[in-house]
Amino acid sequence: MIRRSTRYLLLVFAALLAAACTRLAYNNATPMLTWMVDGYVDLHHEQRDWLRSRLDRAMAWHRASELPEYRAFLQGIHDHVDRPFTEAEVEEAWNKLRADYDRVVDHVLPDAAEFFVALDERQVRQLERKFADDHEKLVKELTDGTEAKRLARRLKHTTSDIEEWTGRLDESQRAIVATREAALPDASRERLADRAWRQRETIVLVRTRDRAKIVAGLHRLLVDTDSWRDPAYRAKIRQRNAATFRMLAELSKTLTPEQRAHLKRRIQGYIDDIDKLAAP
């Protein structure tokens, strides 16, 4: 339910590896990710073969080590759906997912560093241009239209995300979501500055051609974010997360039997997919 905003190839890589999603997406992760990375750096033949082999290895690790964790997590949520969640329980679930994400990122960082070291200068410049293009798109997304129109877009997006899990929300439930969106501080400026700095630092790391520095630097950029992120932006992120936890807890108190059944079916579908993916 949290809006996905990461666009760099490593974040996409980690997010797809971390997602216990449909079997079709999971089983096709290697060609999909290879295609995405190719769009960023224009791989030559040997690099493409190397990347596929490392992605296959990473997916095998993820299937064996991470899918059981996701299954247990989802089963716990499934078994809880018939009663409301507290804010503390929602926060605990979010922290668990964040820890899973961090673990996957750290696992793939050595391969990512080796990949970056092998890029030639032409490919690094292309990566730099792609980062700039992505940043420009985000600027347009965050600044297009009036503040009221941007709020309406965010509200529509959040409501749609939630309804994928619960089925259609009634007016009182939509009001809970709207209250959360209206109360959030505008972090557009900080988000754009944060993204631009992280992209610049990534390019600096890539140009060091030093695997150890790249691994350590990317860990700091992607996992240990509090060590460098602007304090004002960190405060807004915490405020946004707290508002999200509160909103989801409030919504959980209002779910109808039909909505709870819809949510359980959705979660069970993911559990079934994991069971099939994990089968020998």
* Global pTM value: 0.87
Give, for all 280 residues of the chain, the pLDDT tens digit.
333 333 334 443 444 444 445 677 788 888 988 999 999 999 999 999 999 999 999 989 988 998 898 889 889 999 999 999 999 999 998 898 889 889 989 999 999 999 999 999 999 999 999 999 999 999 998 888 888 898 898 899 899 989 989 999 999 999 999 998 888 888 989 999 999 999 999 999 999 999 999 999 999 999 999 999 999 999 999 999 999 999 999 999 999 999 999 999 988 988 898 898 887 7
Say which residues have a Cβ less than 8 Å from residue 6's Cβ, sequence separation at least 6. Answer: 12, 15
| Main-chain dihedrals φ then ψ at residue 54, nearest 5 degrees | -70, -35
Distance, in Å, from the CA atom of 248 to the CA atom of 244, rounded to the nearest integer, reads: 6
Q: Which pLDDT score, from 0 to 100, does residue 97 have?
A: 84
| Main-chain dihedrals φ then ψ at residue 187, nearest 5 degrees | -115, 20
DSSP 65: I
Distance, in Å, from the CA atom of 279 to the CA atom of 10, rounded to the nearest integer, reads: 28
SS3 8: coil
Q: Which pLDDT score, from 0 to 100, does residue 1 have?
A: 33
Place of tokens 């050595």: 110
Q: Which pLDDT score, from 0 to 100, does residue 22 have?
A: 63
User: What per-residue string of b and e applies to 74-110 under the rule 16 or more CB within 10 Å gives b?
Assistant: beebbeebeeebebebbbebbeeeeebbbebbebbbe
CA nearest to 195, candidates 132, 145, 143:
132
Q: Which pLDDT score, from 0 to 100, does residue 259 have?
A: 96
Contact between residue 178 and residue 84 where contact means Cβ atoms under 8 Å apart: no
Q: Which pLDDT score, from 0 to 100, does residue 79 have?
A: 93
The tokens for 225 are 């974010």
DSSP letters for 92-154: HHHHHHHHHHHHHHHHHHHHHHHHHHT--HHHHHHHHHHHHHHHHHHHHHHHSS-HHHHHHHH
The tokens for 184 are 């959030």
Q: Which pLDDT score, from 0 to 100, does residue 161 have?
A: 87
Q: How many residues does the chain have?
A: 280
